[in-house]
Amino acid sequence: MAEKTCSSAASCDKSSCEGCPSAQAAQPESMLEALNCYSEIKHVIGVVSGKGGVGKSMVTASLANMLAAKGYRVGVMDADITGPSIPRMYGLTGLAEADDEGIYPRLTDNDIKVISINLLLPDPESPVIWRGPILAGLVKQFWHDVIWGELDYLLVDMPPGTGDVPLTVFQSLPVDGIFVVTSPQDLVKMIVKKAYNMASTMNIPVLGLVENYSYLVCPDCGKKIPVFGESKIQEVAEEMGILVAGKMPIDPKLTELSDAGEFAKAENPYLDAAYAALQILGIKDSSEK
Ligand code: ADP
């Protein structure tokens, strides 16, 4: 069972987080959910996309690996409840433990804490056929019922689109910023604008755009082949004043590790700009101290 890390566990009456200095209490005017008193999370980062299959979970897990490799304490909330893939990528099977205090995330081989619907339901292959409000409620539970402990970064793998769950995450969690993942064949500008508009309505910054499946490197001649068409990400990013946080090629090594449940071993060298954007948040922390 995970060790409890509540910095003020002695003063916690366990039935309420009131008065606990480590609880990030809801502000009266906002819709932010309170964290439980065993959790302290410095930064919450969302990873969003316009549609499924563009590599949102791949980006989320790659960023988590990069942060964990540098010694940051990292968690991943798999909020893609109807299409969860994070546990499978890390070979996490079986159920997360829970007791009266809350739910304990599972730990990957590289020490990333993970929570996902697939770690809570006995049969990970049974489809989740709940309606939007139930899904949204579950995401809130992932925030306040999960004993995350102390985290530098919590990465939230969002479901695609702009439905109930992304809206709930944006309203209920103190999201510092989001990355938008697209593919070259997407109607990039429209999808990016939608995500951008949703986030900016809620005062959440877009930290960067990641283009996935940008090209394939020919294993024989090394030439880059733009399988899904020429990239438009640079011009869209410039027009909207957003950082290009990465251009990922189709890399069979990444799929292999993901399919084998060994993503803890994966190194993704294509997301350095995204990683730098995350580190800037951390640097801001220390300058504010
Ligand atoms: P999403 O979360 O957007 O639905 P995933 O991250 O699950 O998409 O990716 C869909 C599939 O494509 C997965 O099997 C994943 O391993 C694979 N994949 C994603 N990005 C890449 C990439 N750059 N190279 C190779 N395979 C990839």
Q: pLDDT digits over 37-67, tens only?
A: 899 999 999 999 988 899 999 999 999 999 9
Q: Which of 51, 58, 81, 216 to mutate to test the pocket of ligand 1 (most atoms within 8 A of CB)?
A: 58
Confidence of residue 8 (pLDDT cuts 50, 70, 90): very low
Ligand 1 close to Cβ of residue 183 (< 6 A): no
Ligand 1 close to Cβ of residue 212 (< 6 A): yes
Q: What is the largest CA-CA distance in the chain?
A: 65
Which ligand 1 atom sits nearest the alpha carbon of residue 58? 6
Beta strands 224-225; 244-247: pairing state: unpaired
pLDDT of residue 3: 46
Lowest mean pLDDT among 1-5, 79-83, 235-239: 1-5
Residue scoring higher pLDDT (88 or 83): 88
pLDDT of residue 1: 43
Sign of the alpha-carbon torsion through 254, 87, 76, 4: negative
Cβ 152 vs Cβ 282: under 8 Å: yes
Ligand 1 close to Cβ of residue 255 (< 6 A): yes
Cβ 113 vs Cβ 149: under 8 Å: yes
Distance 10 CA to ligand 1 centre (A): 44
pLDDT of residue 133: 82
Distance 55 CA to ligand 1 centre (A): 4
Which ligand 1 atom sits nearest the alpha carbon of residue 251? 24
Which ligand 1 atom sits nearest the alpha carbon of residue 59? 6
Ligand 1 close to Cβ of residue 50 (< 6 A): no
In the chain, the amino acid numbered 203 is N
Distance 221 CA to ligand 1 centre (A): 25
Q: What percent of the chain has pLDDT over 70?
A: 87
Q: pLDDT digits over 119-142, tens only?
A: 998 777 777 777 778 888 899 999
Distance 190 CA to ligand 1 centre (A): 21
Is the confidence at residue 28, as pLDDT, over 70? no
**How far is it, in rounded angstroms, from Cα 27 to Cα 32?**
7
> Residues 238-250: what's their mean pLDDT?
93
pLDDT of residue 281: 81
> Residues 261-283: what's their mean pLDDT?
91
Q: What pTM was computed for the model?
A: 0.89
